[in-house]
Structure 1
Amino acid sequence: MSTTRYTKDHEYIRVEGDTGTVGITDYAQSQLGDVVFVELPAIGKVLAKGAEAAVVESVKAASEIYAPVAGEVVAINDVLGEEPGKVNEDATGDGWFLRIKISDPAELDTLMDEAAYQDFLKTL
């Protein structure tokens, strides 16, 4: 069973076992506009919680994507190199950015669940 958690910076992490799939939320992609470029980290890179994990550029702006939790990058979504628009089409599905092996599962408790994230969006 997977669990999804969210940051106030609109990243999500979908957790399955000790691995998390990281991307940006549908709200974030809609605020960015058309995504034209995605810079992903190297496999094997160790990320601290809150550290820059990737960069996404749109027609409006460039934005950093931060690691929701600490861990080691174990996979990246190579499709985004050729098709960055996947982020707009399916941000929480095929538009994922990277997968990390979570080093401290307790950090997940500091993130919002779906209901809390939806409540957070209402304040924006």
Structure 2
Amino acid sequence: METLNELKQIMENMTIYMSINGYTKRSFAKATGISQNTFTAMTAGKIKNEKKAVRYIEQATERLNLEQDYFKKSREEIMRAPINYQDEEKLHTGNEKFNALSLLLKIGEIHYKWE
């Protein structure tokens, strides 16, 4: 069973994965079978039932075809992983595309420390 700190890190990794791979909250919810409200509650730390949280995490990794402990990796490993664009409907609007590209540029700045 994961501790609350481990669950918090897993949720941060899920959020990073979602953003890097071009998912919106809506498309990530659809891809994982976790409702958007539930995912938002999880990332905000509002789900206190650890068993439910673990079940949702297992469901997400299974639906995304990831290894079972994928989201337990370090933040750096998640950010270095190849981008996985399986679904062309991940980005729904021009504004969301812009936000995703902006995020990727910010991540690039963090990784490569452009000066």
- Give the TM-score, by structure 1 length: 0.28
Normalized per residue, the structure richer in helix is 2
Q: Which has the higher contact order (CA 8 A, sep 6+)?
A: 2
Normalized per residue, the structure richer in strand is 1
